[in-house]
Amino acid sequence: MSTKPAPAPLPPTPPGRYRHYKGQDYEVLGAVRHSETEEVLVLYRPLYNNTGLWVRPHAMFFEHLEVDGQMKPRFTLIGE
60 in helix, strand or coil? helix
**3-state SS track over 42-57:** EEEEECCCCCCCEEEE
CATH code at 16-79: 2.30.30.320
Look at residue 34 in the predicted model and tell me its pLDDT.
Answer: 97
Residue 2 binned pLDDT confidence (cut-offs 50, 70, 90): low
The structural domains of the chain, with segments of one domain joined by +, span 16-79
Look at residue 7 in the predicted model and tell me its pLDDT.
Answer: 86
Q: In what order do the strands lie in the sheet with 54-57?
A: 54-57, 40-46, 25-33, 16-20, 75-79
Kindly report, residue by residue over 24-70, the tens digit of the pLDDT.
999 999 999 999 999 999 999 999 999 999 999 999 999 999 999 99
Residues listed for the chain: 80
23 DSSP assignment: S
**Helix residue ranges, H only, 1-80:** 58-61
